[in-house]
Each structure stands twice: as C-alpha cells, then as structure tokens.
C-alpha cells in the first residue's frame, strides 16, 4: 500500500503499512500517515493519493482484481494580520499626519489611528481595534469586517490627552472560508502595536548679570545681560521675558535682538519681550540692554533688578526662571554730587567808572570867559543882530582854545 503526496514531505511514495507489524489492511481498518512539511507563505493545496494491491488476509496478492486507489486534497493557507498604531493631534484628524510619538500638551484633543492589514492568504473577520486598559476602541464598520488578503483598512478613535501614555492596541482576525463562514477550527490571528503620547516640557532657566556691582554714581550707564537657557527636553514655544527696574535706574535701551519683540511697560519701569521662534532644547540665548543711574536713589542703596522667563511649554522647575542683578549706590558725595560753585554773573576786572557825558559844544562856547570876553561881547551883539548865526560863531571860538 503506497501513499503519495508530491507537494509535501520528501515527495517520495510512502509504504503506509511499514512499521505497523502487518503487511495487510483488513476491511474496516484504517491507518494514519503523518507527513511533516513546511507550508509556504502563499499557502498550499496538497493532493495525495493512495493505492494498494488487493490480497488475502495473509498478504497474498490476488490477481484478476482491480487495484483499489483513492485521492484527496487538503488546503492550508496562512492566516495573519498586522496592526500599525499611530497618533495625530486634534479630533478626527487625517491619519496621514499621524506619528509614532505625538508631542501634545495635556487637555488637547487627539486621534488614535489604526491601520489593519490582512497579511495572510485567507480572508479574516475583523471587528475592532482596542486597548482595553485605556478604554480605547475603534469599531470596524460591518461592511469592512470581512478583510480580504492584502487589503488594509483604516480606523481611528478620538481621545483627549490626559498625560503621557502608551497605547498597546490589539486586533484579532478569525479566518473565513471562501463561503464567508468562520472557520471555527482555524486559530484566531492577532497583532499588537503601540504608539505614544508625550507631553512637551521645556525647563527654562534665566540668569541675569550687571556690568558693575557698584558703587555707581548718578549718570553712570550700566549694562544688563539676560541669559535664557532651555534645558529641554523639548523646544519651548512662546518664550517671554519680563524685566523690572527699581527706583533709581532708568532704561536707556531695550534688548535689540531681531528674534525678540520688546516693548516698555506704560510707566517705563519695566519691559516685556516675546521670542518669535521656538527656543530649541539645549540652546541658550542672550539679551542685553543698558540703563542709567538716575538721581532718585539715596546713597549706599542696593538697586535690585529682576527679570523672569516663561513660555507656553510646561516648565517642571520654576525655581530658576527668575534672575536678579544688584548694584549699589556710593556714599553721599558720589551718589549725589555737590553742585560746583556758581560762577560770577559778569566775569572780569572791577568795572571802571563810566566817564561823564561830554557836554554840547554850544555850552562850552557860552562858558568862555577872560581874554575872550571882548569877543563874547561882540558875538552877543552879533547874535542880537543876526539871530541864527550864533551857533557857528560859538563852535569856531572853541577851536581857538
């Protein structure tokens, strides 16, 4: 009795009675033949045949009787399924944008995305993708539950971010006969795949320094330096710095960095700056500005200037977000200098007396006396006689002196 299954095993015919202790198979008896082999990925249809020589109970071959034979097929197909889990920001998001690790703040809407593929050679019944521990379930629409080989379906589930989490979603598939009926004897296939949600965090630190610790004098210019560092692990967005000056110092300038938009407070006693781009993890930036000691502070006073950094990205350690810089005013003589002696209104030597005004020539002429009296008498006569000629005569008489 020979059994032949050319698609499996060695391919050589097997004597099915070998090792049974008998060389005949009596009516009603059966024998089981085991053939070990490997099933290729594409599955296998095995066609086996058995044939025998008719014999009596002792094994004597009977001539003239047709040789009995039979054949039968068995089909083996691989059933397998794969799952890819990813995550996307927002509710009902396009899963084309989904990622393996989603960086998203707590409280935000998000979408879990699942790609289910039949990677086997037989149709599968697939009903849902789920992570029971997280209470996440993505039901597969009834019309898509019969998943044919090579086909991928996409389903998703909305969620709200509560904190960092890892989803370990799983999917199961039941092999289906070509009729669509579930093959109960075939084992269920399954796959699992994770995706992560990470809450962004950026540990910012601010250090403030001043160009001098003092003593400073009124009118002196000082330079402040703010160093802002992102210790990570993620980029910080919406980074803001606020700075406040104490009484006694006035701003001369705002930080001039083009990446920061800075403006004074209404009372000019402080300013705020907003960084236009994210501050990457591991990066430090520096802002500088100048200020001037004004006349307000008393002597020997500490002038403490405070700056603080914050951002939209959560910072797990707020203890290092504030920086102070201190300088002191000098003693009274240096803090508020005594004004120098006031200079005289009209500098120069003691003024000399202004000489009296020169009297008119007419008066001099009239004062002539003595030897000129005869002339005067003559002029007087002439004046009486000629009137308007008097002044001419008087001027000439002075030159004669």
With binding defined as CB under 5 A, does residue 307 bind Ca ion? Answer: no
Q: Which is nearer to Ca ion, 85 or 123 (CB)?
A: 85
The binder of Ca ion chosen from 193, 243, 278, 308 (CB under 5 A): 193
Q: Which stretch binds Ca ion (CB under 5 A): 68-76, 254-262, 314-322, 323-331?
A: 314-322
Is the distance from CB of 173 to CB of 125 less than 8 angstroms? yes
CB atoms inside a 10 Å sphere around CB 290: 14
3-state helix, strand, coil in the chain (%, to 5): 10, 40, 50
Find, among 79, 86, 146, the residue nearest to 119 by Cα.
79
CA distance 286 to 228: 6
Closest approach, Cβ 313 to Ca ion, in A, equals: 11
Q: Which stretch binds Ca ion (CB under 5 A): 149-157, 204-212, 219-227, 359-367?
A: 204-212
Q: Which stretch binds Ca ion (CB under 5 A): 15-23, 131-139, 317-325, 346-354?
A: 317-325
Closest approach, Cβ 202 to Ca ion, in A, equals: 8
Closest approach, Cβ 253 to Ca ion, in A, equals: 27
With binding defined as CB under 5 A, does residue 85 bind Ca ion? Answer: yes
CA distance 59 to 82: 55
- Which residue carries 């001419």 as its tokens? 392
Q: What is the DSSP letter of 319?
A: G
Q: Which stretch binds Ca ion (CB under 5 A): 21-29, 187-195, 212-220, 252-260?
A: 187-195
Q: Which is nearer to Ca ion, 99 or 378 (CB)?
A: 99
With binding defined as CB under 5 A, does residue 191 bind Ca ion? Answer: no
Q: Which stretch binds Ca ion (CB under 5 A): 15-23, 60-68, 80-88, 242-250?
A: 80-88
Tell me the chain's radius of gyration from C-alpha atoms: 57
CA distance 229 to 203: 8
Closest approach, Cβ 177 to Ca ion, in A, equals: 32
Closest approach, Cβ 165 to Ca ion, in A, equals: 13
- Alpha-carbon torsion 79, 84, 85, 88, what sign? negative
With binding defined as CB under 5 A, does residue 195 bind Ca ion? Answer: yes
Q: Which is nearer to Ca ion, 85 or 394 (CB)?
A: 85
Q: Which stretch binds Ca ion (CB under 5 A): 7-15, 192-200, 260-268, 290-298?
A: 192-200
Residues 364-393 that bind Ca ion (CB under 5 A): none
CA distance 118 to 187: 15
With binding defined as CB under 5 A, does residue 315 bind Ca ion? Answer: yes
Q: Which helix (H) or strand (E) holds 124?
A: strand 124-125
Query: Pairing relation of β-strands 249-251 and 260-264?
Result: unpaired
Q: Which is nearer to Ca ion, 125 or 131 (CB)?
A: 131
Closest approach, Cβ 131 to Ca ion, in A, equals: 12
Q: Which helix (H) or strand (E) holds 275?
A: strand 270-275
With binding defined as CB under 5 A, does residue 317 bind Ca ion? Answer: yes
CA atoms within 13 Å, Cβ hemisphere of 265: 13
DSSP letters of 182-250? B-TTSPPEEEEEEEEEE---EEEEEEEEES--S-B-TT-EEEEEEEEEEEEES-B-S-EEEEEPPTTEE
Closest approach, Cβ 254 to Ca ion, in A, equals: 24
Q: How many residues interact with Ca ion (rule CB under 5 A)?
A: 9
Residues 319-348 that bind Ca ion (CB under 5 A): 320-321
State the residues that interact with Ca ion by CB under 5 A: 85, 193, 195, 203-204, 315, 317, 320-321
């Amino acid at each position: 009795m020979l059994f032949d299954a050319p698609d499996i095993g060695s391919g050589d015919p097997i004597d099915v009675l070998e090792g049974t202790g008998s060389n005949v198979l009596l009516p009603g008896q059966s024998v089981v033949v085991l053939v070990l082999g490997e099933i290729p990925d594409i599955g296998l249809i095995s066609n086996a045949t058995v044939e025998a020589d008719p014999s009596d109970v002792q094994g004597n071959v009977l001539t003239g009787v047709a040789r009995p034979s039979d054949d039968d097929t068995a089909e083996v197909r691989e059933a397998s399924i794969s799952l890819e889990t990813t995550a996307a920001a927002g509710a009902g998001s396009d899963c084309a944008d989904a990622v393996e690790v989603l960086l998203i703040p707590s409280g935000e809407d998000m979408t879990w995305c699942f790609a289910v593929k039949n990677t086997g050679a037989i149709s599968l019944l697939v009903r849902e993708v789920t992570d029971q521990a997280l209470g996440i379930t993505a039901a597969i629409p009834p019309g898509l539950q019969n998943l044919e080989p090579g086909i991928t379906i996409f389903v998703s589930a909305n969620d709200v971010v509560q904190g960092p989490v890892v989803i370990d979603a799983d999917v199961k598939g039941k092999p289906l006969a070509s009729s669509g009926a579930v093959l109960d004897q075939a084992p269920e296939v399954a796959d699992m795949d994770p995706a992560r949600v990470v809450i962004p965090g950026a540990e910012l630190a601010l250090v403030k320094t001043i160009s001098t610790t003092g003593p400073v004098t009124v009118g002196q210019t000082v330079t402040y330096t703010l160093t802002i560092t992102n210790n990570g692990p993620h980029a910080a967005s919406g980074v803001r710095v606020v700075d406040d000056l104490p009484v006694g110092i006035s701003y001369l300038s705002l930080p001039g960095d083009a990446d920061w938009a800075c403006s004074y407070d209404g009372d000019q006693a402080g300013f705020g700056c907003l960084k236009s781009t994210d501050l990457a993890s591991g990066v430090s930036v520096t802002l500088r500005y100048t200020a001037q000691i004004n006349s307000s502070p008393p002597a020997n006073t500490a002038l403490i200037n405070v700056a603080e950094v914050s951002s939209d990205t959560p910072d797990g350690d707020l203890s290092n977000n504030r920086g102070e810089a201190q300088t002191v005013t000098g003693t009274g003589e240096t803090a508020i200098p005594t004004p120098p002696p006031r200079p005289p209104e009209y500098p120069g030597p003691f003024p000399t007396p202004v000489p009296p005004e020169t009297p008119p020539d007419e008066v001099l002429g009239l004062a002539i006396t003595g030897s000129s009296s005869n002339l005067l008498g003559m002029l007087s006569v002439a004046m009486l006689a000629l009137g308007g000629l008097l002044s001419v005569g008087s001027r000439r008489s002075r030159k004669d002196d």
